[in-house]
A = this chain, B = another copy of it.
Amino acid sequence: MAEAKPEKKNDRVTIREVAEDAGVSVAAVSKVLREAYGVSESLRSKVRASMNKLNYRPLASARGMRGQTYTLGLVLPDIRNPFFADILAGVNSALERTQYQLMMGTSHSQGLAEEALVEAMIDRQMDGIIMIGTTEYMDRLGSIAKQKPLVTIGHHAETSQLFDTVNNDDQLGARLVVKHLLANGFRNIAMLSLASTTSTILSERELGYRREMIENGLGENINIIRAPQTLREVQIAARRLLEGPSKPEALFCWTDFIALEVISVATELGLRIPQDLAIVGYDNTMYCDFAQNGLTSVDQSGELLGLQSARLVIERIRGRAEAEHFVVTPRVVARSSSKRSAV
């Protein structure tokens, strides 16, 4: 409680002090730091010893002025969706033994525009950016990619050469849901989608749903409801559908998060699940396993998606110029919310 403010920054060890302590030049220390070529073993060990002794940690901003900041930016549309926790686990595990540190930012949840967040990350010298479930248009993504290495998760742009994408096969995922519901005797299947003009994963899922319905002669039962992501809007849309004249036998929800809300609405309306209404989600998040939900869902390996995105963005940083597009094959994980023992 004695010496308060003065040491606020002065206690920070700089590369110069390390150099002096080791009896070498600043440039030499920098080389050791970056694990660059052309450093003798003896110089390296001398410098390493001084670094440890002085407890030296380089200042990322200073490094960023000329080189890298060793920071990766992760853009999330909304921290509430539990699926993002799975992705994050994968990203973090990929970064574990590297020098890179992840910094996250959320956009929609508080009205902060996604574009403003990405700009903030560029201004903060992120070495690379991973965007989850972006709502940006292609030209905008291209312009971001020209400034920083970019990987998107949950956005289909497999023809893009400017950035990498990581996805599951959303069209297939939706088809598998319909197949699963049909196999369990449900034929009047509706889909609860997201009101979005730019989401390519949603258009793929809708397409898969449509096609599979049509191929099974159920084209007349196709019913896609689109609602914004807020709980209130979802609740209103679900209520309207389930109380209305065209109440379906089964409802395919675009993400677990929303499906849980539908389970809640259905329960309040006194509907039994799955007898009166089967429900299927997407993402197979941890909440699906809870007995009170028992939610059938599509597993797209969020952790794997996260892992791959980190790998790809680091490769880009290291110079890869050709785009890579990673795709996971999804699978249905059946639980009580959609299993009808007897048709």
Contact = CB atoms under 8 A, between A and B. Distances in A.
A123 B62 CA distance: 10
Interface stretch (A185-193, A205-213, A240-248, A287-295): A287-295
B92 A124 contact: no
Contacts of A290: 260-261, 263-264
Contact of A291 (B59, B111, B264, B287): B264
A27 interface: no
Interface string A288-309: 0111110000000000000000
For the complex formed by this chain, how many copies does it contain in all? 2
B264 A61 contact: no
Given A105-B102, A105-B104, A119-B57, A92 B110 contact: yes
A338 interface: no
A106 B92 contact: yes
Given A7-B146, A292-B292, 12 more contacts: A5-B321, A8-B147, A61-B61, A61-B64, A61-B65, A71-B124, A89-B110, A101-B117, A103-B103, A104-B104, A267-B291, A267-B292
Interface residues of A, number: 62
23 contacts: A8-B146, A8-B147, A11-B147, A60-B61, A60-B123, A60-B124, A61-B69, A79-B84, A80-B82, A85-B109, A89-B110, A92-B106, A92-B110, A96-B111, A104-B104, A104-B105, A231-B286, A261-B290, A263-B291, A263-B292, A264-B289, A264-B292, A267-B292
Given A119-B57, A161-B1, A291-B268, A103 B80 contact: no
A88 B79 contact: yes
A23 interface: no
A292 B263 CA distance: 7
A124 B146 contact: no
A90 to B, nearest CB: 9
A322 to B, nearest CB: 12
Interface string A98-132: 00011111100111100001011001110000000
A228 interface: no
A219 interface: no
Interface string A151-171: 000000000010000000000
A6 to B, nearest CB: 10
A159 B79 CA distance: 33
A115 to B, nearest CB: 12
B96 A124 contact: no
A88 B77 CA distance: 13
A216 interface: no
A74 to B, nearest CB: 9
Nearest to A9: B147
B101 A88 contact: no
A196 interface: no
Contacts of A268: 291
